[in-house]
């Protein structure tokens, strides 16, 4: 009888131990995933996992306590770019405001020339809202101090008008503008201008994000690498996107300027880095190249360029020393405004390298 009770006690103790162990493991798992879910929810509006809230506020300094970042104003804008919702380091689904515009027209409808529901804003690098660095501004969302790169020399690409020289592609091919039209249309306008200026340009129009948004960067890099292998003469690579900008109150922002009496979307040049662990040994060259383009945009077209945005994610910008992600307008801009921006940006790129 005593032996039976002893076995029962041992079994009971063993059961209690197992239950306690399961509870401990479960709590640990819940804490881990709970933290990830909390981070995801916390950053969902801002577009990227583990992004410092302040780093995406318009007019609030970025992560770097030293070095370069935006200067303060009283305005508050959240950048919720599609480019930042699906990165190599942490992927998540886009929020509703970032998806293709629900009012998009069909191809037979007349072109939309205005968006009365959006707030027109000037987000120019030269608007006075940011510290000016020789004709441009920088929003630094990394921990790198890039002060020494602001005026540093870089080796410009060797010019070549005989072979394919420029590659345009769209990681988020499905991004559309107010009233219809997509980033592919903008890429077409940019390609036409590059070629008018004498540079052979390849435009990849393959859709990388239609069936599944997550993993678009992993898919687009394959297409880019295939083109670079096929055309080793390519030096300049541009991943063309469109932004989506909302305020805390839900207003949509339409970054706009006028060039040659034409409404023109403003453009943000985005540079990836190795800050999150992916190899990107040439990010500083990309960054200096983008700074130079932005300065040319300012010299030639005033308020065309928004501040150059330095990010922790790589965004596939490691493929050449002259690779930049471009946010041409936002979801609140019309296609015509974005196409105008594409033409003036292409001209600025060529003026920069020549």
Assess if residue 64 is contained within a domain.
no
| Most confident of the ranges 8-22, 110-124, 128-142 | 128-142
Q: Which residue has the tokens 């020399």?
A: 153
pLDDT of residue 340: 98
How many domains, in total, are found in the chain? Answer: 2
44, with CB counted inside 10 A (0-12, 13-18, 19+), is middle
C-alpha angle 168-313-194 in degrees, rounded to nearest 5: 15
Assess if residue 107 is contained within a domain.
no
125 with 274, same domain: the answer is: yes
Extract long-range pairs of 148-156: CB within 8 Å, 24+ residues apart. Answer: 149/284, 149/287, 149/288, 149/291, 150/68, 150/291, 152/288, 153/288, 154/285, 154/288, 154/289, 154/292, 155/285, 155/321, 156/352, 156/353
Assess if residue 76 is contained within a domain.
no
Instruction: Check: CB of residue 85 under 8 Å from CB of residue 98.
Output: yes
CB atoms within 10 A of CB 46: 20
Assess if residue 96 is contained within a domain.
no
At residue 94, does pLDDT exceed 70?
no
Beta bridge partners of 332: none
Give this prediction's pTM: 0.75
At residue 211, does pLDDT exceed 60?
yes
Q: Which CATH number do you get for residue 308?
A: 3.40.630.40
Collapsing DSSP to helix, strand or coil, 85 comes out as: coil
Collapsing DSSP to helix, strand or coil, 181 comes out as: coil
pLDDT of residue 60: 25
Q: Where residue 214 falls among pLDDT bands split at 50, 70, 90?
A: confident
Half-sphere exposure of 230 (CA within 13 A, CB side): 10
Q: Which residue has the higher pLDDT, 53 or 309?
A: 309
pLDDT, tens only, 48-81: 222 222 223 332 233 333 334 333 233 333 333 4
Among 16-20, 119-123, 212-216, 271-275, where is mean pLDDT lowest?
A: 16-20
Average pLDDT for 31-37: 38
User: Among candidates 327, 340, 306, which has minimal Cα distance to 83?
Assistant: 327
pLDDT of residue 72: 29
Domain extent, residue 295, equals: 119-353
d(CA 119, CA 111): 20
Assess if residue 234 is contained within a domain.
yes
130 with 37, same domain: the answer is: no
Collapsing DSSP to helix, strand or coil, 75 comes out as: coil
**Residue 213 contacts by C-beta under 8 Å, 6 or more apart in sequence?**
85, 86, 93, 94, 172
Assess if residue 9 is contained within a domain.
yes
Assess if residue 169 is contained within a domain.
yes
């Amino acid at each position: 009888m005593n032996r039976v009770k002893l076995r029962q006690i041992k079994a009971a103790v063993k059961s209690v131990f197992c239950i306690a162990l399961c509870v401990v493991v479960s709590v640990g798992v819940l804490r881990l995933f709970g933290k990830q879910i909390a981070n995801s929810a916390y950053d969902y509006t801002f577009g990227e996992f583990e992004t410092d809230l302040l780093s995406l506020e318009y007019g609030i300094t970025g992560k770097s306590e030293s070095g370069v970042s935006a200067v303060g104003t009283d305005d508050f804008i959240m950048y919720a770019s599609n480019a930042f919702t699906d990165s190599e380091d942490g992927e998540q689904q886009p929020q509703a405001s970032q998806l293709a515009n629900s009012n998009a027209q069909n191809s037979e409808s007349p072109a939309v020339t205005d968006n009365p529901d959006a707030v027109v804003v000037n987000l120019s690098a030269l608007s006075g809202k940011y510290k000016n660095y020789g004709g441009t501004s920088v929003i630094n969302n990394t921990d790198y101090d890039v002060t020494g790169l602001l005026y540093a020399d870089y080796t410009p690409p060797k010019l070549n008008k005989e072979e394919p020289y420029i590659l345009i592609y769209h990681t988020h091919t499905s991004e559309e503008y107010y009233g219809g039209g997509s980033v592919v249309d903008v890429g077409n306008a940019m390609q036409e201008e590059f070629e008018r200026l004498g540079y052979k340009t390849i435009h990849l129009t393959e859709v990388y994000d239609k069936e599944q948004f997550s993993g678009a960067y992993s898919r687009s890099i394959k297409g880019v690498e295939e083109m670079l292998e096929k055309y080793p003469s390519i030096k300049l690579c541009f991943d063309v996107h469109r932004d989506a900008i909302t305020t805390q109150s839900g207003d949509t922002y339409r970054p706009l300027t006028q060039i040659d009496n034409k409404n023109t979307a403003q453009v943000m040049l985005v540079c990836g880095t190795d800050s999150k662990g992916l190899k990107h040994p040439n990010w500083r060259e990309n960054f200096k190249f983008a700074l130079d383009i932005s300065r040319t945009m300012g010299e030639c077209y005033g308020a065309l360029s928004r501040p150059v945005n330095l990010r922790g994610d790589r965004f596939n910008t490691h493929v050449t020393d002259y690779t930049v992600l471009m946010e041409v307008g936002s979801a609140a801009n019309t296609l015509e405004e974005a196409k105008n921006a594409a033409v003036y940006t292409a001209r600025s790129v060529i003026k920069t390298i020549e």
